[in-house]
Homo-oligomer: A and B are copies of this chain.
Amino acid sequence: MTQLNVAVVGAGYWGPNLARNFRASPHWRLHGICDLDTARARRVADEVGGVAVTERLGDVLADPTIDAIAIATPARTHHPIVMAALDAGKHVMVEKPLAEGLGLGREMVDRARERGLVLMTDHTYCYTPAVLKMQELIQEGFLGDILFVDSVRINLGLVQPDVDVFWDLAPHDLSIMDFVLPGGLDAVSVSAHGADPLGTGRSCVGYLAMPLRGGAIAHVHVNWLSPTKIRQMVIGGTRRTLVWDDLNPSQRVSLYDRGVDLEPATSAAARAARVSYRLGDTWSPALPEREALAEVVAEFAGAIVGERPARTDGLSGLRVLSVLDAATQSLGAAGAPHPMEVPVKSEVLA
C-alpha cells in the first residue's frame, strides 16, 4: 500500500491522539509534529516512537514530500493555517469548529474546491461504531421518514473562557445530525434559548430548536450545570425509532419497532382519528469496539486517494458553523428564530 505523508500541526490536547492514530495507520506515514512549543511537540514525537519536530509551519508547507496536514490548533488559528496549507497544495484535516466565523469557513471551503484538494472536518463522533451504524440504518430506510431528532448532552462542565455552551457542546450533536440524516441537517430556522444564571458572561444552559424542511423538527439541549450526565439522541421515524445512549456501553443503540401508525386520509381531522399504536420488538445491534479516530484517518486517506470528498468534508463543517452562527444571531434577538439559507450539499464537490 502506498502511504501518504502527513504532518500534525498542534501538539496540545488533541494533537497527540492524531499523531498516535496516523502512526498506527497503514495508510499514513507520520512525517512530523509542528508546534510553536517545541518541547511539547517533542514529547508527542517521543510518545509515537520519534518523528521530526519543528516550530516553523513554513518549513512543513514548503516540504514537497508532505501530502497532507492535520490541524489541531485553537479555533481562531484555523483560517490562516488552512488557507496557507491549501495554497501550498496540501490536503487538510482540521478540528471542529471549522472556523471562528461563517465567512471565514466559506473561504476555506471555496479555496479547497478551487485547488481541488481535500478539506476534511474532524467530526470524530461521526466515526464511532454507534454513529456509523445509525447512519447506515437510517440511510437504508430502517426508520422510515424522520419525524423528530432530540439530542441531550448535559453534564457538570467547566465554564469555558472563550465560548458559550452552544459552541462548546452542540457541534457534536449538530455534526452527528448532519451525518446521519438523509438530507443532512436541513434546518428552516434556528431558535436559540440560553441562560447565564451565574452571570459568567455566556450561556451555560442552552436549547436549540430547528424545524427541518419537510415538517420534522430537530432539538438540542446542552448544559454545563447538570449534576447528572446524559448523552442521548432520539431519532423518531415513521417505521421505527432509534435511541442512542452513549453512556450505556452494553446497549448503546436501541431500535424500537414502536410508534404511531397513520392511515392515509384526506383531511387532517380524519388523519388524527386514524392514528393507532404499534408496540413491536426492541432490537439492539452488536457494535464493534473500535477507536473512532482510526476511522477518521482512514477516511482522510480514502478521500485523497479516491479523489472524492471526505464523509465529513469542509461543507459539513460549514453547515455546523451555519447553525452555530444562526444560534448566536437568535440569542442576540432574544430567541427569535433566525432563518437558514438552504445549505450547500456536499454533492456539489463530487
Contact = CB atoms under 8 A, between A and B. Distances in A.
A158 interface: yes
A260 B224 contact: yes
Interface string A188-205: 010101111111111011
A147 B225 contact: yes
6 nearest A-B residue pairs (beta carbon) = A201-B268, A195-B217, A227-B256, A193-B209, A227-B258, A147-B197
A44 B146 CA distance: 45
Contact of A268 (B146, B200, B273): B200
Interface of A: 145-148, 150, 156, 158-161, 189, 191, 193-202, 204-205, 207, 209, 211, 214-217, 219, 221, 223-229, 234, 236, 238, 241, 243, 250-251, 256-260, 262, 267-269, 271-273, 275, 277, 279-286, 334-337
B251 A201 contact: no
A200 B227 CA distance: 38
A283 B280 contact: no
A202 B189 CA distance: 20
A296 B147 CA distance: 39
B217 A272 contact: no
A56 to B, nearest CB: 30
B207 A207 contact: yes
Contact of A234 (B219, B226, B280): B226
Contacts of A229: 250
B150 A223 contact: yes
B147 A205 contact: yes
Contact of A219 (B207, B285, B337): B207
A305 to B, nearest CB: 32
Given A158-B275, A226-B236, A282-B283, 10 more contacts: A147-B205, A147-B225, A148-B205, A191-B209, A209-B335, A227-B256, A227-B259, A279-B286, A280-B286, A336-B336
A285 B193 CA distance: 33
A207 B151 CA distance: 13
A229 to B, nearest CB: 7
A197 B335 contact: no
A226 B251 contact: no
B196 A215 contact: yes
B223 A195 contact: no
A72 to B, nearest CB: 24
A272 B227 contact: no
A214 B195 CA distance: 10
Contact of A193 (B160, B211, B221, B272): B211
Contacts of A267: 201
A207 B216 CA distance: 13
A216 B199 CA distance: 10
A147 to B, nearest CB: 4
A193 B260 CA distance: 21
A205 B271 CA distance: 16
Contacts of A191: 191, 193, 209, 335
Given A193-B219, A219-B221, A226-B241, A283 B286 contact: no
Contacts of A201: 267-269, 271-272
B335 A189 contact: yes
B282 A221 contact: no
* Most chain B C-beta atoms within 10 Å of own C-beta, residue among A216, A229, A275, A336: A275
